[in-house]
Structure 1
Amino acid sequence: MAAFASQALGMRELSPPPLNLKRLYAETLEIEPVLIIISPGADPSQELLELASETVGRENYHEVAMGQGQADLALATLRECARSGEWLCLKNLHLVTAWLPLLEKEMNAMQPKAGFRLWLTAEVHPKFTPILLQSSLKITYEAPPGLKKNLLRTYESWSAEQVSKGGQLTRAQALFCLAWFHAVCQERRNYIPQGWTKFYEFSLSDLRAGFDIIDRLFEGGKAFQWEFVHGLLENAIYGGRMDSLCDLRVLRSYLLQFFSARLLSPTHSRARKSSPFPTQISLPSSCSVLDYRGMIENLPEDDRPAFFGLPANIERSSQRIISSQVISQLRILSRSVAAGSKFDREVWSSGLSPVLNLWKKLNQGSSLIHQKVSPPSESQGSPILSFIVLEQFNGIRLVQSIHQSLAAVSKVIRGTSLLTADVHKLATALLNQECPLSWQNKWEGPEDPMQYLRAVVARALAIQSWVEKAEKQSLLTDTLDLSELFHPDTFLNALRQETARSRGCSMDSLKFVASWRSSISAATLQVKVGGLKLEGCSFDGNRLSENQHDSPSVSAVPSCYMAWIPQSAAGSYGPEECISLPVYTSAERVRVVTNIDVPCGGSPDQWIQCGAALFLTQQ
């Protein structure tokens, strides 16, 4: 793909060298503003300030951060700078797109002095005025790729005085740990959803806030309290951006590793066997910024998965994910622009026939579409049986409602029915390769409509055998595949309810346990679950093991017994011999079904940072 894109664009390589503002300055003119297009997590202010200090002197450089009430100040400063030939930077213009025509008018009327330069920064925004775009010299400014460049940028933004302040060795080393931690948090985003489950906007402002905390805690030579750093970085700064417990657990594990007395106390710095850093890094016993820069220069250009605690085969899964993203983007590009806006029989017929044909094929030989189902009665007795009958009822109802909506689309294409707003909305979504909201509201499944239809029919058919087994009371003796259910988490809850009934205790007094060895002796009811997949490491039923470079990215694991037992009863594993891993519905890691204990050796950090997780299905 990279080779194809380079050839098509006529470029030697796709990633340009890091932006050098000093080189760029040679190309600028006083009458042409320089627009720096920034991405989240990248801020050129510091570099621009350094360039201005070198070129025109700090006192001749002015900055206005745009936002509420800054417009008049910005225009007044612009006139003053143009008259005296000084530099002005207007930051974050994407926040004031309605005001930009005024800025254009002012610029057209100006006759600036020779030394004047106008620098503008903005994130990409659909309402940014095209005239200002056309009349500016445009450059993009992104967070540097890779740990090494990330660390170098941080150390370029910190002055020698900032690093060596007070001559405190532990403080200088703690700042390096902060820079490393910040780089790891940003670069781990290249491995979504195994690194982080989603993209978090960690930015330079987080690094600054972290710097202030460390700076303040070292003031006055007091005894340093690492818990403050952990608490503030986890709850307020970096962790404040996160909404996933699994991601927070990874963050916490990094904080405990990088900010600890064990790593940074003067007596331990010589004999550190369990350093969290790669072999190329040993913390300098100095406060000089040059020593830290020199050490960073020794790092390899390309990131190694081990820098993040990720498994050696992560490249395979990240390439698989990027490939599927590219394919879905190519699909979106290949659809016709007019497809969704108005009804065109030709476009609708060719665009929707794959969906309609797939639906026909999926339902051949099955009676789901015409099956009569009545809502389950209250008198089922057993919570598990009630759940399964309800799951069957909802599954068949979902299939029938999808069938009605697709039949309506088909009739409009054939001309035997009139176009309604609902049909238009549904067809537009399908033409855009999106799963219609009216379907997702009934059951949240895959985003891709073709995958969604396959998933619905497969589950609706599989649930029939669950009902038969439950009626024969053989369900809990069979090996079950939870991916055959629409709501696997509710099934585990029904098991909890039934266990509580049979024991005559409250549901709150039960805990969820898993065993990979044998059945669970303390359980009155248990299920044997098969078909689970594991990513991030390997598991043979006895203990977790690291993935090697050539290990498959996702592997099957043995069947597992799951049950609810009294809080006081002993589980299958002691707390120090196992780790709790999330079980997601699919490899996209969007919805957690439950967490289960898996026996492991080694430090828990290893398994947390490698992004180990189980899935019911590999979509």
Structure 2
Amino acid sequence: MDPMRVEDYIGLIRNLPDEDDPAYFGLPANIERSWQRIVSSQVISQLKVLMRSPELASRFDREKWHAQLSPVLNLWKKLNQGANLIQAKVAIPSSSAESPIKAFIQLEYYSVISIVQTVHRSLAQLSKVIRGTLLLSAGVQKLAESLLRQEAAGTFEIVFGGISQTPSGWQKLWDGPEDPLQYLRSLIRRALGIGKWVGKSDQGNLLREALDLSDLLHPATFLNALRQQTAREYGTSMDNLVFVTSWSRGGIPDAKVSMKWSGLQLEGATFDGSRLMHNSHDSPSITVAPMCTVAWMPKNLPNRVYHEELLSVPVYSSSDREQLSEPMKSSKSSSGMCREVSGLFTPKEFTFPCYCKLGLQEPLERACVAP
């Protein structure tokens, strides 16, 4: 065979495609959609920054504060219309709850109502200062500075120098979204969601219905409460339990305590409840996963799923994938599946095994699951 000439190498280089195949880097075919979504969010955040004067937050100007902060105050007023959260009277839950799950829900409801009312008091003081009925205090000044300097994090952090997002006082109460408006929306949505959980718990049918853990402030704590209640039902220690999942309609019939988990979102692959499939270049960046049944089971009970056929999939609290909620294990029918599954999102962070039967006709290397 004749040796290759320099011209042959040059020809090969010139014939290389302008865009690399995402598969070379262990990424799904539609990764560009996810990238565009992230970049567009960053651009929008930076445009908001350009609309604000850097000197506005450092000095008090009633007219400018009114113009810049009215959207926040109006949004909060709109979110609370008809919700009756600000007027709600809640007492510290007693320790005499009949079950760990009920105790968790009572404490979660007390916490979210307390946070809502604390945020309301701070915004009410800010509103009074803007209207001229209350003197400016250091606390109100700090709150206004945080809301006025809504600079984006990430790649633009170095350019603009420093990050000012959701007020730190709010984040200490609940570690939520960094954008103040998203924080307020998420807080009210969880307050209303947890209120529905309280009603279901009082009626005794909480675990009979599908539950969306994005309704909670602390979803990982709920899974621990589920684990503790299961340990009581089986009369065993919590360390003797393993996390089991099922995507079938029959759920986990052998489990004494189980939960139907809805609202999971999948990134990096497509899953119909029985088969995990590759994404194409025009597939949505995020898809809704089928409802999943989860339970804690004693290790000594027979398990129909072979552990060597399981795929561990991380469960994150958001699509940012910054906080891992729980690793879930799914059964795999072919090798090389782990790299492409990015994660499941529950709109916080755990790492448990989740078992589900997956039928793949070819290796899947770039998928990701999240709630």
Same fold (TM over 0.5): yes
What does residue 19 of structure 2 align with?
Answer: 302
Structure 1 counterpart of 2:78, one-letter code: K
**5 Å matches for 1:408-557?**
408-433=125-150, 434-517=165-248, 518-557=250-289
Matched, 1:403 2:133: no
Mean Cα displacement is larger for which, 295-304 or 446-455?
Answer: 295-304
Structure 2 portions without partners, runs of 5+? 151-164, 348-369
- Distance in 1 separating the partners of 2:8 and 2:118: 67
- Distance in 2 separating the partners of 1:432 and 1:501: 50
Secondary structure at 2:199 match in 1: helix
Secondary structure at 2:346 match in 1: strand
Deviation at 1:524, TM superposition (A): 1.3
Deviation at 1:590, TM superposition (A): 1.7
Cα pair 2:251 2:293 within 8 Å, conserved: yes
- Distance in 1 separating the partners of 2:122 and 2:304: 49
What does residue 376 of structure 1 align with?
Answer: 93
Cα pair 1:535 1:612 within 8 Å, conserved: yes
Secondary structure at 1:500 match in 2: helix
Deviations 1:8-44 (A, max 9, x none): xxxxxxxxxxxxxxxxxxxxxxxxxxxxxxxxxxxxx
Two-structure CA RMSD over aligned residues (Å): 2.3
Structure 1 counterpart of 2:314, one-letter code: P
Output the TM-score relative to the length of structure 2: 0.84
Structure 2 counterpart of 1:447, one-letter code: E
Cα pair 1:466 1:475 within 8 Å, conserved: yes
Cα pair 1:522 1:569 within 8 Å, conserved: no
Looking at CA atoms only, which structure, 1 or 2, has the larger radius of gyration?
A: 1
Deviation at 1:464, TM superposition (A): 1.1
Cα pair 1:532 1:614 within 8 Å, conserved: yes
What does residue 157 of structure 2 align with?
Answer: none
Deviations 1:404-425 (A, max 9, x none): 0000100111111111111111
Structure 2 counterpart of 1:456, one-letter code: L
What does residue 616 of structure 1 align with?
Answer: 346
Secondary structure at 2:322 match in 1: coil
Cα pair 2:259 2:294 within 8 Å, conserved: yes
Structure 1 counterpart of 2:199, one-letter code: E
Structure 2 vs 1, CA of residues 502 and 304 (structure 1 numbering), >3 Å: closer, same or farther? same
Deviation at 1:522, TM superposition (A): 3.4
Structure 2 counterpart of 1:311, one-letter code: P
Cα pair 1:543 1:599 within 8 Å, conserved: no
**5 Å matches for 1:197-596?**
299-433=16-150, 434-517=165-248, 518-571=250-303, 573-596=305-328
Deviation at 1:569, TM superposition (A): 2.8
Structure 2 vs 1, CA of residues 577 and 294 (structure 1 numbering), >3 Å: closer, same or farther? farther
Deviation at 1:301, TM superposition (A): 3.4
What percent identity do the matched residue pairs reach? Answer: 53
Structure 2 vs 1, CA of residues 295 and 508 (structure 1 numbering), >3 Å: closer, same or farther? farther
Deviation at 1:601, TM superposition (A): 3.0
Secondary structure at 1:608 match in 2: coil
Deviations 1:471-491 (A, max 9, x none): 221011111111111111000
Deviation at 1:429, TM superposition (A): 0.5
Structure 1 portions without partners, runs of 5+? 1-284
Of Structure 1 and Structure 2, which has the larger fraction of its residues in helix?
1
Secondary structure at 2:325 match in 1: strand
Structure 2 vs 1, CA of residues 611 and 333 (structure 1 numbering), >3 Å: closer, same or farther? farther
Secondary structure at 1:350 match in 2: helix
- Distance in 1 separating the partners of 2:179 and 2:143: 14
Structure 2 vs 1, CA of residues 614 and 431 (structure 1 numbering), >3 Å: closer, same or farther? same
Deviation at 1:594, TM superposition (A): 1.4
Deviation at 1:498, TM superposition (A): 0.6
**5 Å matches for 1:52-63?**
none
- Distance in 2 separating the partners of 1:331 and 1:533: 29
- Distance in 2 separating the partners of 1:417 and 1:455: 29
Deviation at 1:291, TM superposition (A): 10
Output the TM-score relative to the length of structure 1: 0.51
- Distance in 1 separating the partners of 2:330 and 2:14: 40
Structure 2 vs 1, CA of residues 572 and 436 (structure 1 numbering), >3 Å: closer, same or farther? farther
Deviation at 1:296, TM superposition (A): 6.5
Tell me the matched-pair count: 331
Structure 2 vs 1, CA of residues 537 and 571 (structure 1 numbering), >3 Å: closer, same or farther? farther
The answer to which structure, 1 or 2, has the higher relative contact order (CA under 8 A, 6+ apart) is 2
Structure 2 vs 1, CA of residues 375 and 308 (structure 1 numbering), >3 Å: closer, same or farther? same
Deviation at 1:574, TM superposition (A): 2.1
Structure 2 vs 1, CA of residues 422 and 294 (structure 1 numbering), >3 Å: closer, same or farther? farther
- Distance in 1 separating the partners of 2:189 and 2:241: 33
- Distance in 2 separating the partners of 1:602 and 1:296: 34
Secondary structure at 1:337 match in 2: coil
Deviations 1:230-249 (A, max 9, x none): xxxxxxxxxxxxxxxxxxxx
Cα pair 2:54 2:149 within 8 Å, conserved: no
